[in-house]
Amino acid sequence: MAVKKTIGFIGTGVMGKSMAKHLLDAGHPLHVYNRTKHKAEELIKNGAVWEDTVASLAKNVDVVITIIGTPKDVEEVYFGPNGLIENVKRGGYLIDMTTSSPKLAQKIYEAAKEKGLHALDAPVSGGDVGAREAKLAIMVGGDEEAFNEMLPIFQVMGNNIRLIGGPGSGQHTKMVNQITIAPLMVGLCEALMYMKKAKLDPEQVLGAISTGAAGSWALDNYAPRILKGDLDPGFAIKHYIKDLKIAIESAQEMGLDTPGTKLALEMYEKLVAMGEGETGIHGLIKYYE
């Protein structure tokens, strides 16, 4: 029986905590670090080893997985004398599962390669439910050999795992995902408000349209939550705004205008100004209410 790789996990938030727990349950020795220790307490109680710094975690593991906040946070964790690239042992693996900048993913890959490390960008989609049920879509950029080596680890956390291409390809694919969702959420919320104004039976309407061209994951998962008034975040608006800004910036660098994405960003920014930053992205319904 193959010895399980020791994994370091940085970022035990809404999604990260579930992902790390799956790795622990699968038998991987797990070391964890988070800016706020209390978010890792449940993992520690279940056998994870707490590390006080990024550097100490890096020195004690074979693989490091990060799923943190912004590209700025990623840069701080990976670079500098106390960062991952300087402290992970030669031959180690770095997997950034944060939704971040494709350019930063390429920068991490090149810096890691110079140190004899393997880096993959592997952002995810599926929200809190996908993380909890280990059904995440995982979009990977990097070398095929490193991907194949890490595939058993990815399979513990997700069920739709694809190597898209070279470094940065995973992040570009996640931008495609986020751009797809933006106008879709606008349409979904407008449709639900139209349904409400027309005084239609929600169960009958959703049943009627779900198997046609309007059918989607968002319709099946977000519409029932919106109708129940459950706007708790699987993915918070404040984080989605960060993603949309990365997507728009990346598109502009390629000479592409994205008016639908820009409109959604404006709408979400208005909700943040109303104090709704911690609401789930389906909380866009509040823009109409």
Q: Is 196 a catalytic residue?
A: no
Structure tokens that stand for 187 in this block: 């349409």
State the pairing for strand pair 63-66/7-10.
Answer: parallel
CATH of 172-288, one of 3.30.465.10, 1.10.1040.10, 3.50.50.60, 1.20.810.10: 1.10.1040.10
- Residue 1, pLDDT score: 60
Distance separating alpha carbons of residues 48 and 21, to the nearest angstrom: 9
Distance separating alpha carbons of residues 223 and 230, to the nearest angstrom: 10
Catalytic residue among 174, 197, 228, 245, which? 174
Residue 7 β-bridge partners: 30, 63
Q: What's the count of helices (H) and strands (E) in the chain, helices before strands?
A: 14, 9
Distance separating alpha carbons of residues 94 and 97, to the nearest angstrom: 10
168 within 8 A of 139, measured Cβ to Cβ: no
- The CATH number of the structural domain formed by 7-166 is 3.40.50.720
- Segments of the chain scoring below 70 in pLDDT: 1
Q: How far is CA 189 from CA 31, 130, 268, in A?
A: 41, 22, 12
- Residue 116, pLDDT score: 98
Domains 7-166 and 172-288 share a fold: no
pTM of the model: 0.93
Contacts of 22 (CB under 8 A, 6+ apart): 134, 156, 157
Domain boundaries, the chain: 7-166, 172-288
- Residue 14, pLDDT score: 84
pLDDT tens digits along 43-86: 999 999 999 999 999 999 999 999 999 999 999 999 999 999 99
